[in-house]
Structure 1
Amino acid sequence: MSARHHTSAELGKRHGRHRRVRGIALTAGLALGALVLASGCKPVAGKPAPPIPTLPTSSTIPAPTSAPTSTETTETTTSAPPSTTASSASPTASSTIKPTSAKPTATQPGPPPGNGTAPAPGTVGFRGDRAKLKVVDGPGSAPPGTTWNSGALRFGGGNVTLENVYVKGGIEYNGKGTLTIKNSVIEGNHFSWSPLLGNSGHINVSDTTITYKDSQWPGDKWGNGAIHGDATVTVQRCDISGTPDGIQNGPGNSTIEQNYIHDLLRAGTYPTNTHNDGIQSYGGPNTVIRYNRIDISADGKAYDGTHQNAAVFIMEGGPGETTGLQIVGNYLAGGGYIMRVSATVRGAIITDNKFGTTAGGWGEAFVDKGATIAAWSNNVSSSNKQINKPS
């Protein structure tokens, strides 16, 4: 788990709040002894420079009419990411923290999932021929009104649509409208803090594969999600992998539906290790998480003793209560606790979820004292046993 991306003015204040131990000590009588669920959140950098280009109120990037001519290249640069507006200097990529798991492998496409079902592997994300996508990999291929910033495609302004593109770098949106991405592939690299970074506005992404394959990181304490930031989001039928977290959502008012989140980056040893979450929400109203397959388990275990925090982690994001939360119809696997709900949640609806194995961990769900659940039903374990509502 890691801190969401903030403006530089918020960094010191919010990191102080988030940089705390979110631990749960087991009683001495348990066979596992006194263990801690999770350590503090990872810091992130401020927004990258240079200034954001301004787009018209609405613009659409047309789909290509023919296959691109450029070919995929391997990123070999070892320079640091762009400077930031944070008061501290930009971090450089770590040479000491190494991944502990292999890169995700491609899965043969299957039929798309039916309505109201969690997807099987290979049934969501971009499912077409990548050779027919328009490649965006430098200033010469950047769409009009955007800036290619040393490996990151940057947007400002209003409404923007990207469709049928293969972005070999990160995407950063700083506008006040909606960035819509359809039927595309995004492969982040160390020049952007996340493959898809939304600092403001709304991100609407569907039927897209979002991953990170660069061996270098944006910073030595990198812990961001593949989709990350202070934008509200609608994420549907996407395949997400390769980053420390899957989706990090700041303000709420977001829908995350029928996605496959898997093969997150497990890296480092305690205490400088990733703390993986499939979805990490920082509170806010009306977050809907439904019909997703989120699997952050590894080697047949929910928790490997170091890296996984939770498949779904709803944490305290600030003053006030978290209302309108729905966690419905998901397959959830991996984590010390596979699902954790913070004390500020009020009236949550948690129904019809299937949980994976708890091997190596402590259980399927933990609800912090003070949280209230309006509906809890038909949540079942890996052995199809009903799970009682946590008290």
Structure 2
Amino acid sequence: MTKDLKRVVITGLGAITPLGNSVDEFWMNVVSGKSGVGMITKFDTTNFKTKFAAEVKGFNAGDYFEKNEARKYDLFTQYAVAAADEAIKNANLDFNKLNKNKIGVIWGSGNGGIQTFQDQLEEFFRVNKHPRFNPYFIPKIIADIPSGVISIRYGLRGLNFSTISACASSNTAIIDAFNYIRLGKADIVIAGGSEAPINESGVGGFSASKALSTYNEDPQIASRPFDVKRDGFVVGEGAGAMVVESLESALARGANILAEVAGGGMAADAYHLTGTHPDGEGAYLGMLDALEDAAIEATKIDYINAHATSTMIGDESELKAIARVFGEHTNINVSATKSMTGHLLGAAGAIEAIITTKAIQNNIVPPTINTNEVEPEWKGKFNFTLSKAQAKEINYAMSNTFGFGGHIATTIFKKYKV
């Protein structure tokens, strides 16, 4: 006999982002329409076409680790632990009073420890190819390590793994957490994603694929989703974490419930290694799957946090997919918060899920900044929430993420009601 599916809620949030190293600071800056983009400080960009990024500011690993411990982890893992710590505190989790065998971690990253990989290869060739690799080289670079470190840190013995679906990675992690919890395989999951790609390899690689904006004249307005002058995305870094929990568990411990997970959808473009399907076929299927999973009509959605990275084809294809799903439902608000945060790659889905949750909580649609002239075909078809946040009753909201390889992940959150 099939068991009834459990309801799943969000009870904690944590963020390390270009717009702040806590959820409160991050959300305040998002609502204010602030840009987190600036000139790159992490390396010399003299020979690079793109000289800017959305860097995390003021992060101190010593706030989270003993000195010797921090050395074991690449920056993407350090960001992960910091975000998870905040989410756990925000959820008021007392692990001594909970069954840690039923608490898991699912974490996503698209690039893993790319800085460590670069550093170690440079060292290898610098010393005449002598294999003096750091003993932590492999665990520092592999993408599953944040989930392992978080579980070890708190003694969490439930399900534990990493999701890798490029820029959809952390949204996939949240959907997986949702599914495992509603099936009764876990009571609580710490889910999210992290990325630290602002180095020569990360920026150089994306630049070579012609994915990055080169608007060095004024980096803060370089990310211009839906705008006729958009010329590529702005790479970002950081981490987002969510405490995803069964409603039964949350009520039993008197948790503050922030929102409910209504559904998740996944699909594939099955089209191109790095480009999206020109008609948004995968995005269309992913959104339909999420709506079906949530058992709601498209007209129920009040707000869409779009993937919208500010690339020519990507933004266009997503809008085509949204139009196919929502038809003439022109009252729907669509905003592209990457205009402020840059594109956090594997961490994008998690920080945008946080934004979506906060939007539902506060009945505020965050803005799309920097977009001065929407593509003529789309003017008047959606409320792009340009320049300023908008107050609006939000009962259901959707968050889209898409990744290289054609990966599609869409989550739907809703206002929690008894």
Structure-1-length-normalised TM-score? 0.28
Relative contact order higher in (CA < 8 Å, ≥ 6 apart): 2
Whichever structure has more helix as a proportion of its residues is 2
Structure-2-length-normalised TM-score? 0.27
Whichever structure has more strand as a proportion of its residues is 1
